[in-house]
């Protein structure tokens, strides 16, 4: 049964809750198109901005999916969908530069912890996946595929933890972060450095050396991030200053 908001309560929250109740109750099955904005405006006696805010709430809470130029479709929440909506809002609130630094810090916490856990308890199957990812990483040095194999190696490491929330966060942010990093002046050299750090990390995990594994990962991520920070430009006046 469909609910209709009263004229005094046609807020985005109320509209969103009514639609969520219908999705959970089976009125709108997953992947079914939701009513148009016009239909929702008429049904709830609400303005288009109010309806759009309600639909945005549905997407953020994982009850709707929308493609470019397409009507939103009903969905049921999943870890990935909820975190994606939250992540998009984090980037909007913090801005590109600041959010990038915060996400790098979050990644460092996650992956340093993952390295520690992997050194403690990675089983033979997980070690085999890490080794395979490392071999792919080596083969991609100096090619456009290196970033993809870089991500795959780190994902194989985080997967050892066995936590779907952590893995979803990693999947969501790491590929975006790497894609938005500025290019380096010598890609092959940077690839070789990254690979050697990956190899050192894998060896520490293989040997069960917890402190060494966490130290290598911490140094690896710190170096990788700082190596791509842009050096501030020198002013003309500074260039003209005598040296020595």
pLDDT at 36: 95
Q: Which of 68, 85, 18, 74 is nearest to 46 (CA)?
A: 18
Residue 96's pLDDT is: 62
The pLDDT confidence band at residue 60, using thresholds 50, 70 and 90, is: confident
Confidence band (pLDDT; 50, 70, 90) for 7?
very low
**Is the pLDDT assigned to residue 73 strictly greater than 80?**
yes
CA distances from 61 to 12, 17, 141 (A): 13, 11, 40
Distance CA 72, CA 200 (A): 47
Taking the C-alpha atoms of residue 191 and residue 187, their distance in angstroms, rounded to an integer, is: 6
CATH code, 12-77? 1.10.10.10
Question: Average pLDDT over the chain, rounded to whole?
Answer: 86
Q: Which residue has the higher pLDDT, 178 or 10?
A: 178
- pLDDT for 115-143, tens place per residue? 999 999 999 999 999 999 999 999 999 99
State mean pLDDT over 92-117. 81
Domains of the chain: which residue ranges? Answer: 12-77, 82-226
Cα-trace Rg, the chain = 24
DSSP sequence for 115-155:
HHHHHHH--HHHHHHHHHHHHHHHHTTTSTTHHHHHHHHHH
Is residue 213 within 8 Å of 205, Cβ to Cβ?
A: yes
* pLDDT score at 121: 96
Sign of CA dihedral 92, 95, 96, 100: negative
Tens of pLDDT, residue by residue over 188-243, are 999 999 999 999 999 999 999 999 999 999 999 999 888 767 666 676 665 556 55
Angle at 84 between CA 77 and CA 137, to 5 degrees: 120
pLDDT exceeds cutoff 90 at 57: yes
Specify the range with the lowest mean pLDDT, choosing from 1-5, 16-20, 89-93, 180-184.
Answer: 1-5
Superfamily of domain 82-226: GntR ligand-binding domain-like (1.20.120.530)
Beta bridge partners of 73: 33, 65
Over range 162-181, report the average pLDDT: 80
| Predicted confidence band of residue 184 (pLDDT cuts 50, 70, 90) | confident
Query: Burial level of 9, CB count in 10 A (0-12/13-18/19+)?
Result: exposed
Residue 150: what pLDDT? 95
Q: What is the pTM of this model?
A: 0.69
Asked if residue 72 lies in contact with residue 33, where contact means CB atoms within 8 angstroms, the answer is yes
Sign of CA dihedral 53, 58, 60, 64: negative
Model pLDDT, residue 8: 47
């Amino acid at each position: 049964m469909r609910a209709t908001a009263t004229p005094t309560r046609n807020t985005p929250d109320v509209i969103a809750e009514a639609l969520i109740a219908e999705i959970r109750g089976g009125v709108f099955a997953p992947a079914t198109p939701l009513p148009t904005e016009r239909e929702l405006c008429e049904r709830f006696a609400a303005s288009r901005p109010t309806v759009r805010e309600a639909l945005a709430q549905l997407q953020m809470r994982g009850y709707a999916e929308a493609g470019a130029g397409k009507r939103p479709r009903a969905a049921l929440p999943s870890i990935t969908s909820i975190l994606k909506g939250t992540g998009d809002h984090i980037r909007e609130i913090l801005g590109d530069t600041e959010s990038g630094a915060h996400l790098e810090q979050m990644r460092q916490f996650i992956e340093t912890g993952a390295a520690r856990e992997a050194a403690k308890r990675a089983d033979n199957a997980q070690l085999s996946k890490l080794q395979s990812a490392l071999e792919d990483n080596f083969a991609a040095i100096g090619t456009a595929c290196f970033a993809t194999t870089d991500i795959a190696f780190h994902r194989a490491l985080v997967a050892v933890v066995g936590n779907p929330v952590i893995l979803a966060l990693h999947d969501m942010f790491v590929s975006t972060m790497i894609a938005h990093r500025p290019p380096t002046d010598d890609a092959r050299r940077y690839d070789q450095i990254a690979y050697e750090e990956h190899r050192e990390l894998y060896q520490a995990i293989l040997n069960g050396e917890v402190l060494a594994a966490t130290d290598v990962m911490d140094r690896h991520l710190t170096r990788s991030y700082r190596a791509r920070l842009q050096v501030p430009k020198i002013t003309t006046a500074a260039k003209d200053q005598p040296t020595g």
